Amino acid sequence: MTSLSTSLLSHASRRSTLPPRLPIHRSISVSLSPTQPKLAPTPQSPMAAIPQRQLFIGGEWRAPALGRRLPVVNPATEAPIGEIPAGTAEDVDAAVAAARAALKRNRGRDWARAPGAVRAKYLRAIAAKIKERKSDLSKLESLDCGKPLDESAWDMDDVAGCFEYYADLAESLDKRQNAPVSLPMENFKCYLRKEPIGVVGLITPWNYPLLMATWKVAPALAAGCTAVLKPSELASVTCLELADVCKEVGLPSGVLNVVTGLGPDAGAPLSSHPGVDKVAFTGSYETGKKIMAAAAPMVKPVSLELGGKSPIVVFDDVDVEKAVEWTLFGCFWTNGQICSATSRLILHKNIAKEFQERMVAWAKNIKVSDPLEEGCRLGPVVSEGQYEKIKKFVSTAKSEGATILTGGVRPKHLEKGFYIEPTIITDVDTSMQIWREEVFGPVLCVKEFSTEDEAIELANDTQYGLAGAVLSGDRERCQRLTEEIDAGIIWVNCSQPCFCQAPWGGNKRSGFGRELGEGGIDNYLSVKQVTEYASDEPWGWYQSPSKLIQALISQVGVVNMSTQAAGSSVSPPGYIQHQA
């Protein structure tokens, strides 16, 4: 467990995002346009009441074993606004035991082996409660992680939609059971069963706290698994509210357990726990490696959604205004804290000057404010540590010879909070840190190209492979780049759209496995092959001992008849025994 401590403390649960549905993009388009006036700043949000929760273990609120708690800091004001419980290995043990008991209760008939329709009922009830609490949950999310309130509200819609989607898949799982397999031998029948993998450990990030948890919780529960959720210590509030929702809808005790706390104290023991059958993690590449190492001694399966340094390739045949908006949206959405951020702009040199000028105009028009203010489009980053890290990236880029075209500093009208203006960096070389490493903040770097081959080479010049985008009016060119860019997700003439019906995941150092879509539930299922011998005839590979004896007796009878015919009525002593 100690081998995970440093990484999980500094990196646990850092990545991933569910970008908005397409109608949301249209609303963003209006608010970002340089022709629209920005709203005047309003006073900072007053301190909000964060619900005082305990750990959620075995269907009940339970104080952490060591009685510790962690402060919740509003990144918009830098002020403490509440506390969360700080779980430790003792609490993880209790949560895993509760999950195991729920999995095995009534020999699995209460949950793991119950019909999918039973589990679907609970998932739909959770979705309904999320919708009912949408307003409160949205505000808590924004206060906790700095996300603009409009984005948090859309996240809650997507949380409910994801639970509903996997409720449908839980029901359809019943129909997929005992699926026949065609065999070449008629005397055999074969079918497949899909069964829950068991108790799963879910470690989730701070940029989409409740939504990223839902990406794992919903399919895991739909599959019949039981779970221990460990959200990031930087943003756990709404995950504890999810526990409250589960309690309210009567989810069977122990099916979902929520243990908050620091990475070394709670995340590491969950990753290495012998009672956990699988770990699903969204976070940094370095932490992902540690989790794989922790799982290896038990040959425990893991699925990893890690970082990215995704390209957006813009050709010279685009509508510049539309392409500028998609380019900024792909990097600055969610305060730039997106694993799939298309933060490397690969721009055709023929339009570079005009494009960069328009990007600066649009970027300066983005409203940076307290996330609860109306019209906010860029809030604070999640913590002081992240704030300092981003500033260091910008200063290093400058020292290496890049040009800070705009941004990179605190907005003048915001004296408090972890705010950074949307930043665009040009004159970038491919050896620079800003080109190679993930910033996880509102920072876009720009590199020009002349030919399609050069653009492809630049797009693939990364150790990551989560996503990529190509913007061009030439559909055949877009298709070529879709095939050439080495990434798990490609966007054409857009950036960041994501739907729970489509799989999500990357290649190379961006991890492996896919969340969402129909395959999302398969992450939490194991396949059991059942083959039946369907013939009344014996198999016949070995000679039956009883048939052998019958054959010998028949031979003796023939010998006796021969002897009698020769005038002798008595067999030699021991003849039968000898022959046998």
- CA dist 496 and 18 (Å) reads 8
Q: Is 336 left (phi over 0), alpha (psi -120 to 50) or beta?
A: left
SS3 label, residue 204:
coil
Q: Which residues contact 186 (CB under 8 A, 6 or more apart)?
A: none
| CA distances for 145 relative to 104, 236, 309, 382, 501, angstroms | 37, 9, 22, 5, 26
DSSP H/E element including 573: none
Q: Is 198 left (phi over 0), alpha (psi -120 to 50) or beta?
A: left
DSSP string, 476-490: HHHHHHHHHS-SSEE
Residue 538's identity, in one-letter code, is P
Residue numbers annotated as active site: 305
Angle (CA) 352 311 478, round 5°: 80
Strand ranges for 154-283 from DSSP E: 179-181, 188-196, 199-203, 226-230, 256-258, 278-282
Q: Which residues contact 294 (CB under 8 A, 6 or more apart)?
A: 1, 3, 4, 268, 271, 272, 279
Q: Which residues contact 513 (CB under 8 A, 6 or more apart)?
A: 280, 302, 303, 304, 305, 505, 523
| CA distances for 281 relative to 202, 208, 385, 470, angstroms | 6, 14, 21, 28
Instruction: Compute how many other C-beta atoms are within 10 angstroms of the C-beta atom of residue 563.
Output: 15
Angle (CA) 216 220 226, round 5°: 120
- CA dist 70 and 48 (Å) reads 17
Radius of gyration of the chain measured on its C-alpha atoms: 31
**66: closest CA among 95, 96, 89?**
89
Query: Can you name the residues that pair with 347 across neighbouring β-strands?
Result: 314, 448
